[in-house]
Amino acid sequence: MKASRLSRRWTDIECICGLPSRKFTCVNYVGTFLLGMVFFAIFYGILLCFHDGHSQWIEMFFHGGEDNRSTIPYFTVFLGTWSLAILLVKSLKLKAQARALSLNVLPEDPNFVLTCATARQIIDKINDQVADPKDFVLLDRILRALMNLKNLGNVSAVAECLKSQAENDDETLHSSYTILKGFLWAIPVLGFIGTVLGLSSAVGGFGQVVKSGVTDPHALIDSLGGVTGGLSIAFETTLIALVIALVVQLLMTVVVNREERFLDECSDYCHRNIISKIKSIDLIESTQE
């Protein structure tokens, strides 16, 4: 293989790391799980540097301590870091896919037109420039259309094949975010679960205060202080979950927008380099008639 040939092996982050790489911008969830654990460890490692027991904004991420906080924040933070790992890997894989847009798949002849006989020239040029064209969204789309042209001998079917493949790529894009959408649903739910647990604990504590029959106002205030502290902890879990969900949602929107623009660029590339050449041959044939 020529060193200058484009290859997913040297551009796809999962291949570079020695992990099984999924199709196009779909991610390996085992790899992103491990990367999410690394992000999780880094996040809590940074928090530990400021974990002095005095800052409420730091303490609410930790279980235990004098307030006996819930373990729910650990799960919400991990789902958040796993989501960030997925988005990071998808962004890097998208960058690798976009490198195919810089290739020139047409022969040097400026008067080249696409026919059943000349389709082979484009296929050969793609294979000369890329180690495995089917690993790239754009090139896979073009090769499918050209193979269809060679097998059926119908130039008008090329545009329809490209359109159909573009729709399939769009469906693949949206299905690749299924697990992320699941995380975005689960993260707030975990926060609400933590709140419910905290509220039930606080209500139980209030019941104990009532049953104790405390009459001293100062003792009663001290007892109720523990109850209200439980309410504060309950709402902290929801706060953490909602902030994490918001950050993940915003970043996912950015990545989805980049992928959609990439697919639009692929369609534009196919129109300029493939479909426009089919129109040229149609015009030639109509002129000859």
C-alpha span between 61 and 67 (Å, rounded): 12
147 — pLDDT class (breaks 50, 70, 90): confident
Mean pLDDT for the stretch of residues 11-33: 91
230 — pLDDT class (breaks 50, 70, 90): low
pLDDT of residue 273: 87
Mean pLDDT score across all residues of the chain: 82
Residue 271 contacts residue 239 (beta carbons within 8 Å): no
207 — pLDDT class (breaks 50, 70, 90): low
Of 77 and 114, more confident? 77
pLDDT of residue 149: 77
Q: Give the type of residue at 166.
A: A
Residue with tokens 């959609």: 260
pTM as predicted: 0.84
Phi first, then psi: give them for residue 61, nearest 5 degrees.
Answer: -85, -5
Give the distance between the most distant pair of CA atoms in the chain: 107
Of 47 and 206, more confident? 47
C-alpha span between 77 and 57 (Å, rounded): 14
41 — pLDDT class (breaks 50, 70, 90): very high
Mean pLDDT for the stretch of residues 94-103: 93
pLDDT of 87 > 50? The answer is yes
Residue 237 contacts residue 73 (beta carbons within 8 Å): yes
Ranking 42-51, 169-178, 216-225 by mean pLDDT, the lowest is 216-225
